[in-house]
Structure 1
Amino acid sequence: MKKDNFPKEAQEIFQELYGKILMNSDYKNRMDSLISMFMSNFTTQAFEQIDILAKDMNIHSYMISMLLLVLSSKPLLKLYHERNISEEIYWNTAEDLTCKLKECYQLYGIWGTFVREWFPRFYQMARFALGRMQYEYSIFKLEEYSIGGFTVKKGDKVINMHIPASGSFTVEKRMDSYHKAYEFYKKDFEGRPIPVVCSSWLLDPALKDILPAHSNIRGFMNDFTYIRAYTEEEFHDAWRIFGKDASKPPKDLPRDTSLQKIFAEYLEKGRKPGKGYGVFLLDETGIIT
């Protein structure tokens, strides 16, 4: 927790909680079993049982779910060693625990996680953080896309990218991450360009009309050589901008940051933010344009 920059208060709470578990043989045996269950990919059963343990200990499930993830990080490191994947990538990937911990505290005032279903693929060695972004295998969802003499067809293997809430993503950080992703995955594409896709509210093309030219979000959008837009009736990602105030009417939304101000005014005009599904191709030189 210290190396992963958990806030001091959170560290103390989890240390105290784990101490209670260690002092009770029943709790300890159940937690050990849950770690084994979770690491063996029986995630549904593990989450069901962790909720029962939370109830028995009178602890919020968000809190004990995060403790399960923290404790499972030790056997995960062993898997990294066995597969000769660097500890740098391990610790980079583990930073997502801190991101989700802080989001949970921001929204609910609880040190824990309300999105535990997001984590299993990290522990199954199927999703990795490589610099600023996270990556995993996926399949191409559009019919066909071509650039630079290379074509991606529906169902082809691609790399899906995620953007954790770990601060700004400048062009330097993005390009560093893309380079690391190419080096990490290139052997599986046998010298061919690597298709990278992303589905996110950050790729809604309509945002170009409201964001300043120097915005990192606009810069990120410009990394993609094709984006397909999708409209949505509700802005489900509003909490990422407004936190616990996301459910308020647009006129009452906080405007403490430039992004909040832009989106609050956008929503107040009756506009509906959507999503975009974007794609670009990587080779050893970077993005193919």
Structure 2
Amino acid sequence: MNHHASTPAWQRLSLSEVARTLALEPDVVERLTPVAGPDGPRLSVPDHETADRLLARLNTEPEDRATTLAARPDPDDDPELCWLLDRSARLLISRLGRRPPGNPAWAALPGGPVARHLYVWVFLTVLPYVRDHHADLGLNDDESWASLGALGSALASDRRVNGRPGLDATWGLPMTFSGTGFRLGRLAYERQPRHTETGHPVLRPGESALNTHIPGNSGPLTPAACDASFDRALELARGFPEQVAGFGCHSWLMDDQLAGYLPAGSNIIRFQRRFTAVNDRMRADWAPILHVFGRRFDGPVVPPALLDELPQRTSLERAVVGHLRDGGHWYNQTGWFRRLP
């Protein structure tokens, strides 16, 4: 029997062939190299009915469910994309509970709808493995689905911002679907490797911190909601092999300039004051424009015409726009606080 002849054509492709046809960037090739060989788990891409049910469970809006289901890669028409789907899923499964190697960002694939939805199919394929991993970590069923629901939020956000369906560049979703990132109530977290150097603001060598994220459109950032989330995170961390000794947060919401615009009792300022800031400011005018207003712009400077279009309904919206109009800039900044489980 000719086993080679019975193997689907897409499975016989090599990484170099796929990279050449899809014009993959060098960092993508590097990321896939460990799983490029023929050995690995036999993965099952969800069928139409299963995928539709899973997408609905992941809070995917009907429009995004429809475009995803219509963009399922076909082995005959899209062999290179089918190969990339399989190897990307293998990579996530091989790294469950650990950060994927190399650059954590997964850039949007060039091409049409199938390419722009390919990583959605990757995440749907690995979903059962991540669900099992969540159970092993101690996440309950609601926490697991809430974590994975980041996919639906990302699809809706990227469609509204970009004006086309599918995923844009993402680093958060590979973390979520490798089991490294998870959501607990109001906040989300990402496990980090052990710290090895002295001189860290809060960590000692051998300790780790959970990187904290603030999902948008999820209700007020109240102290009570944050307390409950941090407490739950520390409860889970007792079962991690790394010694979690606190939390870090790198965000434009940690920019200490916000204190000059917002009341001291505002939820954002009270959240900031949990952390001790470090001097690592990185200019990020794009961040509040994207996360507050859902808009993007080209170039290093926010166009004045865009600022004129933005609503001024809240103190935060007025702060973001007024500061930029006055010639200021917004920065991503890191804060830390120590708290043991």
Give CA-to-partner distance per residue, 1:4-50, whole Å, 9 cap, x none: 221111112222323x7489796896445653354335888xx99x9
The 2-side partners of 1:120 and 1:143 are apart by 30
- 5 Å-filtered alignment, 1:113-128, equals 113-128=167-182
Q: Is the 8 A contact 2:147 2:184 kept in 1?
A: yes
Which amino acid in structure 2 is aligned with residue 200 of structure 1? S
Q: Is the 8 A contact 1:204 1:230 kept in 2?
A: no
Aligned: 1:143 with 2:199: yes
Q: Is the 8 A contact 1:66 1:116 kept in 2?
A: no
Give CA-to-partner distance per residue, 1:209-244, whole Å, 9 cap, x none: 0113343211211222x2224433452413222322
**Structure 1 position 157, deviation (Å):** 2.0
Q: Is the 8 A contact 2:254 2:335 kept in 1?
A: yes
The 1-side partners of 2:266 and 2:305 are apart by 24
Q: Secondary structure at the match of 2:71?
A: helix
Aligned: 1:231 with 2:281: yes
Q: Secondary structure at the match of 2:333?
A: strand
- 5 Å-filtered alignment, 1:151-162, equals 152-153=203-204, 156-162=207-213
Equivalent residue, structure 1, for 2:338:
281
**Structure 1 position 67, deviation (Å):** 2.9
Give CA-to-partner distance per residue, 1:131-182, whole Å, 9 cap, x none: 222221245688254xxxxx63367422221222242322222111111111
Aligned: 1:63 with 2:121: no
The 1-side partners of 2:89 and 2:240 are apart by 31
Which amino acid in structure 2 is aligned with residue 194 of structure 1? A
Shift in alpha-carbon separation, 1:63–1:260, aligned structure 2, 3 A: farther
**Structure 1 position 271, deviation (Å):** 1.2
Equivalent residue, structure 1, for 2:329:
272
Which amino acid in structure 2 is aligned with residue 125 of structure 1? G
Shift in alpha-carbon separation, 1:172–1:233, aligned structure 2, 3 A: closer
| Equivalent of residue 177 in structure 1, options 212, 229, 234 | 229
Give CA-to-partner distance per residue, 1:191-219, whole Å, 9 cap, x none: x9832111111111111001133432112
Q: Is the 8 A contact 2:212 2:249 kept in 1?
A: yes
The 1-side partners of 2:306 and 2:138 are apart by 51
Shift in alpha-carbon separation, 1:88–1:246, aligned structure 2, 3 A: same
Equivalent residue, structure 1, for 2:42:
none
Equivalent residue, structure 2, for 1:215:
266
Structure 2 length as normaliser, TM-score? 0.66
Equivalent residue, structure 1, for 2:25:
none
Which amino acid in structure 1 is aligned with residue 282 of structure 2? E
The 2-side partners of 1:211 and 1:221 are apart by 12
CA RMSD of aligned residues (A): 3.5
**Structure 1 position 82, deviation (Å):** 5.4
Q: Secondary structure at the match of 2:166?
A: coil
User: Structure 1 or 2: larger strand share?
Assistant: 1
**Structure 1 position 264, deviation (Å):** 0.6
Equivalent residue, structure 2, for 1:148:
none
Counting aligned pairs with the same residue, the percent is 18
Q: Secondary structure at the match of 1:114?
A: coil
Q: Which stretches in structure 2 are left out of the alignment for 5+ residues?
A: 1-54
Which amino acid in structure 2 is aligned with residue 275 of structure 1? N
Q: Which stretches in structure 1 are left out of the alignment for 5+ residues?
A: 146-150, 285-289
Q: Secondary structure at the match of 1:11?
A: helix
| Equivalent of residue 206 in structure 1, options 234, 248, 257 | 257
**Structure 1 position 92, deviation (Å):** 1.9
**Structure 1 position 74, deviation (Å):** 2.8
Shift in alpha-carbon separation, 1:75–1:218, aligned structure 2, 3 A: same
Shift in alpha-carbon separation, 1:214–1:113, aligned structure 2, 3 A: farther
Q: Secondary structure at the match of 2:294?
A: helix
The 1-side partners of 2:244 and 2:115 are apart by 43
Which amino acid in structure 1 is aligned with residue 180 of structure 2? A
